[in-house]
Amino acid sequence: MKNDNEAIRAEGIVKRFGDLTVLRGVSLAVKRGEVVCIMGPSGSGKSTLLRCLNWLSPPTEGTVWLAGEVLGTQETPNGTRVPLPDSKLRRQRSRIGMVFQSFNLWPHRTAIGNVMEGPMIVSGITKSEARRLATEILTRVGLTEKADVYPAKLSGGQQQRVAIARALAMQPEIILFDEPTSALDPELVGEVLDVMKSLATQEITMIVVTHEVGFAKDAADRILFMDEGLIVEEGSPSEFLENPKEERSRQFLERYLN
Amino acid sequence: MFNTELFFNSVPTLATAAVVTFKLFVCCVCLSLMFGTLSVMLQLSNNRAGYWLSRTYVSVMRGTPLLVQLFVVFFGLPLLGIKGQAFLAAALAIGLNSGAYTTEILRAGIQNVPVGHLEAAASIGMSRLRTWTRVVLPQAFTVSLPALTNEFTIVLKSTPLASVVAVTELTYAGVIIQARAFSAIEVFLPIAVGYIVIALSFTQLARWLERRLRDFHT
Ligand SMILES: Nc1ncnc2c1ncn2[C@@H]1O[C@H](COP(=O)(O)OP(=O)(O)OP(=O)(O)O)[C@@H](O)[C@H]1O
Ligand SMILES: [Mg+2]
């Protein structure tokens, strides 16, 4: 399983909610610096997969490795696997960033406050160091002048860029994006995608659930197509977007390309 | 007939007693917030024993008269080796009682916090306790502030109950003077003014806080 070049690997991920099986055995591996886009119809399990990958919602079956290290569980001396103690799980989670469709900024903290929170409270660096780091990261997402503004006074695009900065501030090994632009007005989508494209060129490992075909074409190394809880097709952007093999992919793309 | 002499002679005594009332009020509010916060955290932290402890606390406090609670605390403290502490007993009883209402007020505020905010905290690896203190409670307090302000003005008006265990707060001081002078209006008029001054200062403070906190909710 050990592969130095691998940021994250998942094998046989099954997720059930009661009687409902949402993921039916998903496996994937993402190399360091790789950008993988996940597409698929609504309800196919894309969000659920991302939430399994950072153990926000632990899978029912299957294993996830973060840089070769098993996520969320540990082996006991007698060979069974048990949930990892909370403190260790938290340390693993801090290595995986997540950007949500609905931003989820903390409304009682300013833009910079949101970005500083992780380094200060989770990593335990001093406030002044955290401020310096956060300022630098806000510059990277083009929001230097909005540092002291509360989220409610920011546009959706700006909020999402702050959320990206918040994830970046933990210096994660990989960032998961769950439809980062689908809650945005069309004219605000571009500024967020531009930030994400610049991250893609900076060798940041990303898994992006998105229906933005343009972004996938420009930034992705690989596209995974999900349907009914399985990855049904996988390929380079040009292969997948121009010449999908599966009928389901073709139908899906027809809807989104037009 | 308005006895001006009695009025002016009472002022120093009443002023001293007003300070006692003010101190009692502040202690009760702090205790109420403390008990309320602890109890709501127990209730919502996925711990069965904690949940039932908190529910029982709330039911008992809401279901029995404050006066009875005060007597229980006042006569209970000596059994714990704490004697002659009427002020402490009064503050504790009123604080415990109000804490039950604070629990319920905060619970509503907490349930208002979107799950996504907790998931964002979890995704950067924040601990449960830190998520409570850094994400949930600050938002819950902001949302709950008007209801809490209301609750604490009721607390202020419960403080005269402390007189039954002989704490010389504002109302009791008035009763003592009035019993000696056989005249009430000169005493209870300034007392009423005293309560209004405390209540208004408190509500003004709360409104100032609300305005400051509203900054980020609009
Ligand atoms: N906590 C849950 N409890 C029960 N069912 C759930 C839960 N979370 C997701 N599901 C179900 O799992 C299925 C897949 O949901 P998921 O959100 O992963 O889909 P998705 O591919 O992200 O869709 P969308 O494009 O609409 O975001 C849906 O049928 C959903 O109702
Ligand atoms: Mg989704």
Q: What pLDDT is stored for residue B218 in this prediction?
A: 47
Calculate how far, in angstroms, residue B1's C-alpha sits from the geometric centre of ligand 2: 78
Cβ(A52)–Cβ(A59) below 8 Å: yes
User: Would you say residue A2 has pLDDT above 70?
Assistant: no
pLDDT tens for residues A104-162?
A: 999 999 999 999 999 999 999 999 999 999 999 999 999 999 999 999 999 999 999 99
Banded pLDDT at A1 (limits 50, 70, 90): low
**Token reading at A157:** 């695009």
Instruction: Report how far apart the first and last C-alpha atoms of chain A are (Å, whole number).
Output: 41
Nearest-Cα distance to chain A for B38, in Å, is 21
Q: Check CB contact under 8 Å for A108 and B138.
A: yes
A203 — phi, psi (to 5°)?
Answer: 65, 25
Residue among A164, A148, A157 at smallest CA distance from A181: A157
Distances in Å between the Cα of B123 and the Cα atoms of A66, A98, A210, B119 are 14, 6, 19, 6
Residues of A in contact with B142 (CB under 8 A): 108
Are B139 and A108 in contact (CB < 8 Å)? yes
The structure tokens 């260790």 sit at A88
pLDDT, mean of residues A85-101: 96
Best mutation target among A117, A137, A149 (most B Cβ atoms within 10 Å) is A117
pLDDT at residue number A101: 96
Integer Cα distance of B109 and B90 in angstroms: 28
Q: Is A92 in the pocket of ligand 1 (CB under 6 A)?
A: no
Higher pLDDT among residues A255 and A236, named by residue: A236
pLDDT for res B212: 84
Task: Using an 8 Å CB-CB cutoff, list chain B residues near A100.
Answer: 116, 119-120
What are A222's two structure tokens?
Answer: 């690989």
pTM above 0.80, yes or no: yes
- Which CATH number is B32's domain given? 1.10.3720.10
User: Is the CB–ligand 1 distance for residue A46 below 6 Å?
Assistant: yes
- Ligand 1 pocket, A47 CB below 6 A? yes
Contact at CB, A108 and B124, closer than 8 angstroms: no
| B137 neighbors B179 (Cβ within 8 angstroms) | no
User: How far, CA to CA in Å, does A141 sit from each of A157, A177, A193, B80, B85?
Assistant: 11, 15, 11, 60, 60
The dihedrals phi and psi of A37, each to the nearest 5 degrees, come to -100, 140
Q: Hey, what are A131's tokens?
A: 């401020």
What is the reported pLDDT for B217? 53
For chain B, which ranges sit under pLDDT 70? Answer: 215-218
| Rounded Cα–Cα distance for residues B209 and A126 (Å) | 28
Nearest chain A CA: its distance from B96 CA (Å): 29
Distance A65 CA to ligand 2 centre (A): 22
Number of domains in chain B: 1
A108, B218: Cβ pair inside 8 Å?
no
Contact criterion met (CB below 8 Å) for A163 and A101: no
Read off φ and ψ for residue A97, nearest 5 degrees.
-85, 155
Name chain B contacts of A122, Cβ cutoff 8 Å.
124-126, 130
pLDDT of residue B215: 66
Sign, Cα dihedral of A39, A42, A48, A50: positive
| Residue A55 confidence (pLDDT) above 70 | yes
Among chain B residues, CA nearest to A163? B120
* Residue B65 vs residues A183, B68, B76: alpha-carbon distances, Å: 51, 5, 16
Domain region containing B8: 4-217
Both tokens assigned to A256: 């989104």
Token pair, residue A64, equals 């996830």
Helices (H) and strands (E) in chain A, counts: 9, 12
